[in-house]
């Protein structure tokens, strides 16, 4: 199949394959071509350029997109989209004055989701989760990282990861799987954290390796969850199985999680709502991608990741949804891009870079996703008629999308 888009008002994020992330000042540059064409052959981008440079050749379908913008689909590098039920009761509890920490302390939060997930069948969990993923595709997400971490027992963690594997197989979007057994300490191990870490390392990890269920390893490195030492133990064990670290750090406290991530060559360090000078300086000498999750800050009313500080320090930044039932129950990347502009003072160019090319880097898929580049997958957002790409973040809460193409096929 050979599809040709013509008269594209703006073709955004056109880059060479060698560009895998943007940092500091370059984050404010968003390369684009006005009045462009884009040719798709099978599942890949075949060619693009200005309309005046278009060469006539055999084409199955010509689509005139006058007035519309085309950009690569969003790369959401941090989500917990596989979960059972919801936590809307806790949402109401928070409205009535309890904090996220209060709810967790009385056995709610992650442990609440773990109970619901343990009670759900694999089939039911798959059904609930694939429906969410399908909803996200319509919102322009073309690549999605999904974590386990609501199982918290060998059986339930494997159930989650098998569901993620099935979504990977069935869904048109690119999926990466992350093992997050160290998300919370399950009730049974309340007074035996050492025992739970032993279970993760000696029982869960070998089984996950055997079934090839994960690409990445994650730990919730936070006070009341997993310490630096415990995080280090899990990362070390997982790295031996070839899992690449991507960790939750600095959501509520800064105590060395960023440096630990960098030491373990983490692909990304995520959250970073609370940052110290040491955290920023350690990131300057690292390949590790900082990832902000503004949907979580918005929903919990906690500080936003200080994007200006990071970017003005010359660092890169990626944006992701953190889609989960407790702290960020939305997977809408369009809204995340808006939030980044409105609440984190990122420019539209910086936010779009953070949600595409830098998101792809944070999930190790730069080869095929994150920019408009010859040979990369034809996973595209075609917007409604817009005056400029700035309208994507500007009209917060509205859907800017006309159509989504994933691997050369339109999503109906
Ligand atoms: O990234 N912080 C840890 N994990 C999730 C929240 C999980 C939950 O509340 O269910 C997060 O925010
Ligand atoms: Fe998370």
pLDDT digits (tens, 9 = 90+) for 264-318: 999 999 999 999 999 999 999 899 999 999 999 999 999 999 999 999 999 999 9
Q: Which of 220, 221, 253 gets mutated to test ligand 1 (max ligand atoms within 8 A of its CB)?
A: 220
Residue 10 in contact with residue 68, Cβ under 8 Å?
A: no
Give pLDDT, residue 107: 87
Instruction: Judge if the beta carbon of residue 324 lies within 6 A of ligand 1.
Output: yes
Give pLDDT, residue 137: 98
Which pLDDT band holds residue 412 (cuts at 50, 70, 90)? confident
Q: Which fold has domain 75-361?
A: TIM Barrel (3.20.20)
Give Cβ neighbours of residue 285 (< 8 Å, ≥ 6 apart).
Answer: 262
Q: What is the spatial distance between Cα 42 and Cα 162, in angstroms, rounded to a whole number?
A: 29
Which pLDDT band holds residue 256 (cuts at 50, 70, 90)? very high
Tell me the average pLDDT across 349-364: 98
- Record the tokens describing residue 231, joined without a space: 């995080």
The more confident residue out of 100 and 243 is: 243
- Record the tokens describing residue 334, joined without a space: 């369009």
Domain with CATH 3.20.20.140 in the chain: 75-361
- CA of 209 from ligand 1 middle (Å) equals 24
Q: Which fold has domain 2-72+371-410?
A: Urease, subunit C; domain 1 (2.30.40)
Ligand with smallest separation from the Cα of 110: 1
Residue 133 has pLDDT above 90, yes or no: yes
Among 278, 244, 269, 299, residue whose Cα is nearest residue 78: 269
Instruction: Judge if the beta carbon of residue 215 lies within 6 A of ligand 1.
Output: no
- pTM of the shown model: 0.97
Give Cβ neighbours of residue 62 (< 8 Å, ≥ 6 apart).
Answer: 3, 4, 6
Q: Which of 183, 299, 300 gets mutated to test ligand 1 (max ligand atoms within 8 A of its CB)?
A: 183
Among 249, 327, 321, 324, residue whose Cα is nearest residue 290: 249
Which pLDDT band holds residue 340 (cuts at 50, 70, 90)? very high
Please report, rounded to a whole number, the percentage of residues in the chain having pLDDT higher than 70: 100
**Alpha carbon nearest to ligand 1 atom 8, residue:** 326
Ligand with smallest separation from the Cα of 149: 1
Give pLDDT, residue 182: 98
- CA of 327 from ligand 2 middle (Å) equals 8
Domain with CATH 2.30.40.10 in the chain: 2-72+371-410
Which pLDDT band holds residue 94 (cuts at 50, 70, 90)? very high
**Alpha carbon nearest to ligand 1 atom 9, residue:** 326
Backbone angles phi, psi at 159, to 5 degrees: -60, -45
Residue 387 has pLDDT above 90, yes or no: yes
Tell me the average pLDDT across 374-401: 97
Give Cβ neighbours of residue 316 (< 8 Å, ≥ 6 apart).
Answer: 21, 22, 23, 24, 27, 289, 290, 358, 361
Instruction: Judge if the beta carbon of residue 248 lies within 6 A of ligand 1.
Output: yes
Q: What is the spatial distance between Cα 335 and Cα 27, in angstroms, rounded to a whole number?
A: 19
- CA of 6 from ligand 1 middle (Å) equals 43
Rounded to the nearest angstrom, the gap between the alpha carbon of residue 143 and the centroid of all alpha carbons in its chain is: 8
Give pLDDT, residue 318: 99
Q: Which neighbouring-strand residues pair with 217?
A: 179, 245
Residue 368 has pLDDT above 90, yes or no: yes
Residue 43 in contact with residue 407, Cβ under 8 Å?
A: yes
Tell me the average pLDDT across 25-49: 98
What number does the ligand 1 atom closest to the CA of 110 have?
A: 10
Tell me the average pLDDT across 134-160: 98
Among 225, 293, 224, 234, residue whose Cα is nearest residue 260: 234
Helix (H) or strand (E) holding 295: helix 294-300
Give pLDDT, residue 106: 85
Tell me the average pLDDT across 95-100: 94
Q: Any idea of the CA torsion for 347, 348, 350, 356, to the nearest 10 degrees? A: 160
Q: Which residues are in the CB-under-5-Å shell of ion ligand 2? A: 322
Instruction: Judge if the beta carbon of residue 340 lies within 6 A of ligand 1.
Output: no
Q: Which of 327, 329, 330, 336 gets mutated to test ligand 1 (max ligand atoms within 8 A of its CB)?
A: 327
């Amino acid at each position: 199949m050979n599809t040709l888009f013509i008269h594209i008002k703006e073709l955004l994020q056109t880059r060479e394959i060698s560009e895998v992330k943007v940092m500091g000042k370059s984050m404010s540059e968003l390369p684009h071509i006005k009045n462009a064409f884009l040719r798709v052959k099978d599942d890949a981008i075949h060619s693009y350029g200005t309309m005046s440079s278009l060469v006539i050749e055999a084409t199955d379908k010509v689509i005139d997109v006058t007035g519309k913008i085309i950009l690569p689909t969003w790369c959401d590098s941090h989500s917990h989209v596989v979960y059972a039920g919801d936590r809307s009761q806790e949402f109401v509890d928070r409205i009535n004055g309890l904090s996220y920490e209060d709810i967790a302390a009385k056995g709610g939060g992650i442990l609440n989701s773990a109970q619901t997930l343990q009670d759900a069948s694999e089939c039911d969990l798959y059904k609930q989760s694939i429906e969410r993923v399908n909803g996200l595709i319509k919102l322009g997400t073309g690549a999605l990282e999904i974590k386990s971490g609501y199982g918290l027992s060998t059986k339930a963690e494997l159930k989650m990861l098998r569901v993620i594997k099935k979504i990977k197989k069935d869904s048109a979007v690119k999926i990466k799987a992350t093992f997050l057994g160290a998300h919370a300490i399950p009730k049974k191990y309340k007074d035996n954290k050492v025992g739970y870490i032993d279970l993760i390392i000696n029982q869960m990890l070998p089984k996950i390796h055997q079934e090839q269920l994960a690409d990445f390893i994650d730990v919730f490195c936070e006070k009341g969850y997993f310490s630096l030492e415990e995080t280090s133990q899990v990362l070390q064990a997982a790295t031996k199985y070839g899992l690449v670290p991507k960790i939750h750090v600095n959501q509520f406290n800064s105590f060395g999680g960023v440096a630990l991530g960098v030491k373990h060559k983490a692909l990304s360090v995520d959250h970073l709502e609370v940052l110290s000078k040491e955290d920023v300086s350690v990131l300057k000498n690292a390949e590790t991608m900082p990832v902000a999750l503004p949907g979580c800050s918005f929903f919990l009313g906690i500080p936003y990741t200080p994007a200006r500080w990071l970017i003005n320090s010359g660092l890169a930044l990626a944006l992701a949804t953190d889609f989960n039932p407790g702290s960020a129950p939305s997977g809408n990347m369009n809204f995340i891009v808006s939030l980044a502009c409105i609440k984190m003072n990122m420019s539209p160019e910086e936010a779009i870079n953070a949600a595409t090319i830098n998101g792809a880097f944070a999930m190790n898929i730069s080869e095929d996703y994150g920019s408009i580049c010859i040979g990369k997958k034809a996973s595209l957002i075609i917007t409604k008629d817009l005056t400029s790409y700035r309208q994507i973040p500007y009209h917060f809460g509205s859907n800017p999308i006309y159509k989504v193409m994933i691997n050369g096929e339109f999503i109906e």
